Chain A
Amino acid sequence: MSKTRTREQGDGEVAALDQLAREDAGSRAQFLKMVGGAGAAGALAIFVAACGGDDEAETPSGGGSTDTGGGGGAASKGDIAILNYALTLEHLESAFYQQVLDSGQIKDPKVGDVAKSIGEDEMEHVQALTATVEQLGGKPAKAPKTAFEDVIAAGAQKILETAAAVENLGAAAYLGQAGNIKNKEILAAALSIHTNEGRHAAVLNQVVGKTIVPDGAFAKPATMEEVLKSVKPFIKA
């Protein structure tokens, strides 16, 4: 279907991950400099953007409860950079499921349903993070060019194992940033995505016959460097 998503503008500022993948040196400072847009404080409406029509119960805290007051802390450049880092990963995941579903490689309808619902979640994460970065006055990271062809050609098992690996990595990536996020509302948003990624990771582990909790009772975080190194094979330079 819509295979050609937002790949076109490969000009100007290259997507941050592309750049990093090329240079190999995962210096965090450099990464932050690249992805950090103009920092500006502002009201964050990630949940407004995101929480449309799920089967959650009614939102108990109502509409006008969060007026960004209460010591939430302004969104710093660092927060925007973290959001863009997360956005890049979500772009990658979202593109992967899209390509997997388009390929028709997954024949088991139950597994297909799981992949579809995960893909939907990732797409919502992309939308919410993009909107949030924009609202904060930053420039959202672009979708990287992906390199999943070999994985997809290898068939369902390889696809699911890769999906599991990427989801476990994604969950670890969010966990690794929690302590770095300054603004409380951004932290709340990141946490709400973090556990969603944890759900994906465990379910895919279960599907491929691995333990649902690879780190045991306490999930381990991953640094930006670790994450970028691991996703590098899936990004086209």
Chain B
Amino acid sequence: MFGQANVLAQGQAEFPPSVSDFYLPSILPWGAENSFWFTKITAMVWIAVGILIIFFLASYRNPQLVPTKKQWFAESIYGFVRNNIAVDMIGHAGVRFAPYFTTLFCFILLTNFFAIVPFFQISPNSHIAFPALLAAITYVMFNYVGIRHHGFVKYFKNSLVPPAPWYILPLLIPIEFFSTFLVRPFSLAVRLFANMFAGHMLLLVFTLGGFAMISANAWLAPVSVLSWVMTIALTFLEFLVIVLQAYVFTVLTASYVQGALAEEH
């Protein structure tokens, strides 16, 4: 963003935007190109973690039976994930997963939300490292839960062998293995990453496109304005995607856990 700000300030908008627009120079050491330890992205992750911790601890420091407004808000976030995701998907046993699902949901929602907050304007989840990390946790979690619940052999038998005639099993078992154990974590990570990546890219295209046109030819100014109006419209779309992807990630995690716990295939 600092780079973009400079670019815009100097009226030298680079168009079209490229992948490198997602890799901003590091903050510490200042301006380093390939240092990832302390960048705007990691800073935002820490900020998100800090905001969530402070918000929840502050609003739940002194819980009352009759909740205050803040406490009610914190409770309704947890209650939403607990009742509408964990219990709905998994059933009564889902309550014990609700704390993790809520943490996951809040983390993704807030980090996604940075994509449309002024001066942040990029989501950490547009770097695949964070979605990949969360997907890996989900992957380990549903397998662990399944193995603990069923035992190693029964879990894999449940997961891999569908109730089908024996002669079709040689076809089905590899497909099941591929979809459950290979594709799942990737699809989970890539879905979130690609949505946030594409959202940021779209906003960049329309914002920078406006600058590119107006600096190319003053007569294109109305088109530039149209381009910026599109940016605003797309920001609303982006908001929808932000909430939806956070929800989808959590629901899919719950669904995988439910599948691992299910008695039959």
A interacts with B: no
